[in-house]
Amino acid sequence: MRSTNIVIRRALSVPRILVTGTLFLLGSLLGCSRTPTPQKATGWSPRGAAEYLDIREAQWATWPGAARDHGTFCISCHTALPYALARPALKRVLSETNVSSQEKRLLKDVVTRVRLGDEADPYYSDKDTGLYKSSESRGTEAVLNALILATHDAQQGRLSPDAQAAFHQMWALQEKSGKMQGSWPWLAFGHEEPWEADDSRYYGACLAAVAVGRAPSDYRNDPKVQQRVGLLRSYIGREYSQESLINRVSLLWASAEMPGLIASERQKAIVDEVLKKQQSDGGWQLAPLAWKWRGWTFASFGRSWIRSDGSLAKRESDGYATALIAFVLPRAGVPRDNPQLQKAISWLASNQSDEGYWPSYSINKRRNPSSNSGRFMSDAATAYAVLALTEDRPDNRLTATKQAPNPSSNQLSY
């Protein structure tokens, strides 16, 4: 590790043109800019993905570290939220007639906390975790609750009273003035990319836009809601130039859910930038998408190569980055027969593990991939891979292995 740091420091001490050449050569060798060719998918298992996600959601809901007051648990960006978004898609593919017990429990947890409102303790408090953590927890939870309930209610085409209450709580916590006007306080624990970092407030604002986009049109067109959406649009446009590419992918997702959120030229620019980062095998690396270049500094150069704990970052295609991008691109208008999109879908269909998940790794520190925390990134990767592979596209339906329906438990009721 020490010798690696010395090599990088020496590289940074040479003239800039040489560093530029070195970076270009490294990028070429790693295949960062190669144009991939179409590749036939080999198949994937919806049943395997469902079993993995169900097990992981059950583990998360009962893990002491996720436990909160009133018998509830934290809705995490890595496990619970992606599960809530992806599990209904698997239900359709597997022709299940009932909602999984894990999904019912998650929805019940969200509804419980929405109904409790301020009676429920924040996920993290200023007293126990640090300054601003109470408000950050409230803002984060409000956005996630609204997104989960709006996604669930979209299946019925109307907002339930609980979803309406969730949106009311979300708008109440939106910043009304100052530099962050239009956004929400968001949990930040230093450099915990990509969901709880110093720049993750933008990601949270994009999720809020997705939630609004999934609400019925009569709700979106309400003048009071339009006023709040106007503040959100202004924030997203104002902060755009400061954001990492992975945050812009979230913006691309939001723009697909809420047409007109950003100009078509900006949407196309994000798509073009993302496609240029595709690896020769069809996937994407997460670290180069998450870390922002801040000039010719050791930190800017090193973050894509060295994690905060000193371990070397993975230099291979990543399940989370690839799945999220493959899910978002067609929603943003990339044609289904686009060779690069086809290559990404093929990568996903070919990289599911025997346990049903898609591997992904922390870009912040080295973790045991079989541990609870070591699975967090793979939890998210698997959920977004499911969303990418279950889009209503013939090429994706054909890659899924047909499975028998799962005789699950009772229908959901709040």
pLDDT band at 363 (very low <50, low <70, confident <90, very high): confident
Domain membership of residue 118 as a residue range: 29-399
How would you class 388 by CB atoms within 10 Å of its CB: exposed for 0-12, middle for 13-18, buried for 19 or more?
A: buried
Percentage of the chain beyond pLDDT 70 is 79
Torsion of CA 108, 113, 119, 121, to 10 degrees: 120
The answer to whether position 290 is within a domain reads yes
Q: Which residue has tokens 């592979």?
A: 389
What is the structure's pLDDT at 52? Answer: 98
Q: Which is more confidently placed, 126 or 414? A: 126
Where are the extended beta strands (E) located within 187-328? 191-192, 196-197
The answer to whether position 206 is within a domain reads yes
The yes-or-no verdict on residue 236 having pLDDT over 60 is yes
The answer to whether position 22 is within a domain reads no
The answer to whether position 99 is within a domain reads yes
Global confidence as pTM: 0.84
AA letter at 354:
D
Average pLDDT, stretch 68-79? 97
**Residue 241 CB neighbour total at 10 angstroms:** 6
The answer to whether position 12 is within a domain reads no
Average pLDDT, stretch 370-383? 94
How would you class 240 by CB atoms within 10 Å of its CB: exposed for 0-12, middle for 13-18, buried for 19 or more?
A: middle
pLDDT band at 301 (very low <50, low <70, confident <90, very high): low
The answer to whether position 21 is within a domain reads no
pLDDT band at 122 (very low <50, low <70, confident <90, very high): very high
How would you class 155 by CB atoms within 10 Å of its CB: exposed for 0-12, middle for 13-18, buried for 19 or more?
A: exposed
Q: Which residues contact 150 (CB under 8 A, 6 or more apart)?
A: 159, 163, 166, 167, 211, 212, 214, 215
The answer to whether position 254 is within a domain reads yes
How would you class 80 by CB atoms within 10 Å of its CB: exposed for 0-12, middle for 13-18, buried for 19 or more?
A: buried
Q: Which of 3, 17, 141, 77 minimizes the C-alpha distance to 383?
A: 77
Total domains, the chain: 1
Q: Which residues contact 111 (CB under 8 A, 6 or more apart)?
A: 149, 162, 414
What is the structure's pLDDT at 365? Answer: 76
The CATH number that applies at residue 357 is 1.50.10.20
The answer to whether position 410 is within a domain reads no
At 284-294, the pLDDT tens digits run: 999 889 976 55
CA distances from 103 to 16, 56, 383 (A): 53, 12, 13
pLDDT band at 24 (very low <50, low <70, confident <90, very high): very low
